[in-house]
């Protein structure tokens, strides 16, 4: 094909070819697919598995799919599930008989910028450490990423404010930007030699100036629609200084400590270890499962939990994301996907709580909070 100036354009069937090519290389492809009224990340084999023509409405404690009336493949914001279950499964056997896990590399199809950033955060927390999580490392090996530029942020999204999106800037093999006006097509950029090969085999067309401009417009437009963001300066110091604020009790009285936010969070990585056996001690196993700092057992020592109150658990969670994570791993522990707020059954808005404990009335630019009106 000769030397190529990227980006290039892929037609819709070129995207199907990408899936075929990945599968042809022996890679199971995992991508967005509708299930039980939500979009999840699950094995896919063709474009027919994607949530074509589906959009989503998100608000604190609210998530609804809706028909878009077009054929967009990626016309929704973040799916309900992140990708973390692929590399850090909710439950796995550490010792004793269990399903033999001999992981194969996996291809992630349709990764949003926020989730790509989250993948990097997990690599920092579990891989680039003095002691490596060998199970995570094994599953993470050889991951192929087809990323998508997010052009349909939800009302809960704030990646633009955290500079983790909406356009993936690194960590992908191929990046696609979906264009629907003037013909359904994808602007594509490779991020690795593998990505170049995949695009070449999928069969691209040269990109016209209007394609490039349309993609740039879509990114700018998406970023502009995200009206929410935490103020970044002084974040860590503000949270450390806020440890004794009465507001924690206030949010603690609304929080159900259900741990849902930590399950949907793409960066939460805490796990616990449970031993099981039959009543006579037979079939003993040691199992690692996702854990959450919202449970009382999380901080249990003999005699009681360190964090008895829900207020202290909420403080722990938000302080970890926006302050201690920086000390531990050099970056913020939040990528702005908004899932914790969307999926909170009490509708607790992360950014509103963050603003409240910092003595700010609301996240800058968030009219929904400042004028007291409700969305959704």
Partner 1 sequence: MTTQEVPAPSAADPSTDPMRPRPFRLLAHRFDTDDTVTVRLEPVDGVPLAFEAGQYTMIGMLGAGEVPISISGDPAVPDLLQHTIRDVGGVTHALVRARPGDLVGVRGPYGRGWSVMDGAGGDVVLVAGGIGLAPLRPALLEILAHRHRFGRVVVLYGARTPADILYADTLDSWRSDGVDVAEIVDYGPPGYRGRVGRVTTLVPRAGFDPANTLALVCGPEIMMRYAAAALADRGVPPGRIRLSLERNMKCGIGLCGHCQLRELFICTDGPVLPWSRVEALLRVKEV
Q: Does residue 84 touch partner 1 according to CB under 8 A?
A: no
Q: Does residue 267 touch partner 1 according to CB under 8 A?
A: no
Q: Does residue 329 touch partner 1 according to CB under 8 A?
A: yes
Q: What is the CB neighbour count within 10 angstroms for residue 101?
A: 11
Beta carbons of 369 and 349 less than 8 angstroms apart: yes
Bridge partner residues of 9 (DSSP): 187, 205
Buried b (16+ CB within 10 A) or exposed e, 215-249: beebbeebbeebbbbbeeeebbebbeebeebebbe
Omega into 7 within 30° of 0, i.e. cis? Answer: yes
SS3 content of the chain, % helix, strand, coil (to 5): 35, 20, 45
Query: Residue 213 or residue 300: which is nearer to partner 1 going by CB?
Result: 300
Q: Which stretch binds partner 1 (CB under 8 A): 45-53, 148-156, 286-294, 337-345?
A: 286-294
Least Å distance, CB 271 to partner 1, is: 5
Q: Which stretch binds partner 1 (CB under 8 A): 58-66, 179-187, 326-334, 341-349?
A: 326-334
Q: Does residue 253 touch partner 1 according to CB under 8 A?
A: no
Residue with tokens 């935490």: 230
Rounded-to-integer distance, Cα 124 and Cα 39, Å:
27
Q: Which residues, in sequence order, are CB contacts of 355 under 8 Å at separation 6+?
A: 230, 361, 362, 363, 366, 369
Q: Which stretch binds partner 1 (CB under 8 A): 53-61, 90-98, 109-117, 217-225?
A: 90-98
Instruction: Tell me which of 308, 345, 359, 367 binds partner 1, using CB under 8 A.
Output: 308
Q: Does residue 137 touch partner 1 according to CB under 8 A?
A: yes
Least Å distance, CB 284 to partner 1, is: 3
Q: Does residue 247 touch partner 1 according to CB under 8 A?
A: no
Report residue 163 CA to chain centroid gap: 14
* Total number of residues that touch partner 1 (CB under 8 A): 57
Q: Does residue 97 touch partner 1 according to CB under 8 A?
A: no
Q: Does residue 141 touch partner 1 according to CB under 8 A?
A: yes
| Ranges within 108-127 binding partner 1 (CB under 8 A) | 124-127
Instruction: Tell me which of 64, 66, 91, 128 binds partner 1, using CB under 8 A.
Output: 128
Where along the sequence are the contacts to partner 1 (CB under 8 A)? 94-96, 124-134, 137-138, 140-141, 240, 243-244, 269-277, 281, 284-286, 288, 291, 293, 298-303, 306-309, 312, 316, 319-320, 323-324, 327-330
């Amino acid at each position: 094909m000769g030397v190529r100036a990227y980006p290039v354009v892929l037609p819709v069937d070129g995207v199907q070819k990408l899936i075929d090519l990945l599968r042809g290389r022996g890679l199971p492809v995992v991508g967005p697919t509708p299930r039980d009224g939500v979009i999840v990340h699950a094995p896919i084999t063709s474009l027919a598995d994607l949530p074509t023509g589906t959009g989503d409405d998100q608000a604190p404690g609210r998530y609804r799919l809706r028909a878009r009336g077009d054929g967009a493949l990626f016309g929704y914001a973040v799916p309900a599930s992140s990708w973390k279950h692929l590399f850090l499964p909710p439950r796995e056997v550490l010792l004793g008989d269990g399903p033999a896990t001999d992981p194969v590399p996996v291809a992630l199809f349709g990764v949003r910028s926020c989730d790509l950033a989250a993948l990097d955060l997990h690599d920092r927390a579990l891989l680039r450490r003095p002691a490596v999580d060998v199970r995570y490392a094994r599953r993470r090996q050889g991951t192929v990423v087809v990323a998508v530029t997010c052009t349909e942020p939800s009302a809960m999204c704030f990646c633009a404010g955290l500079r983790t999106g909406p356009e993936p800037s690194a960590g992908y093999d191929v990046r696609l930007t979906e264009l629907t006006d003037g013909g359904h097509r994808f602007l594509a950029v490779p991020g690795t030699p593998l990505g170049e090969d995949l695009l070449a085999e999928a069969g691209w067309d040269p990109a016209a100036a209007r394609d490039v401009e349309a993609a740039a417009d879509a990114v700018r437009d998406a970023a502009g629609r995200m009206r929410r963001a935490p103020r970044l300066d002084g974040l860590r110091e503000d949270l450390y200084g806020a440890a004794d604020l009465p507001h924690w009790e206030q949010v603690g009285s609304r929080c159900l400590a259900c741990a849902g936010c930590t399950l949907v969070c793409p960066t939460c990585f805490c796990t616990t270890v449970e031993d099981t056996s039959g009543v006579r001690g037979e079939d003993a196993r040691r199992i690692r499962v996702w854990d959450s700092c919202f449970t009382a057992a999380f901080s249990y020592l003999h005699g009681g939990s360190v964090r008895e109150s829900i207020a202290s658990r909420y403080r722990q969670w938000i302080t970890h994301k926006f302050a201690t994570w920086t000390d531990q791993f050099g970056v913020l522990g939040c990528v702005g996907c908004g899932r914790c707020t969307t999926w909170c059954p009490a509708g607790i808005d992360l950014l509103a709580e963050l603003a409240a404990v910092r003595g700010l009335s609301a996240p800058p630019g968030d009219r929904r909070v400042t004028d007291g009106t409700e969305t959704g």
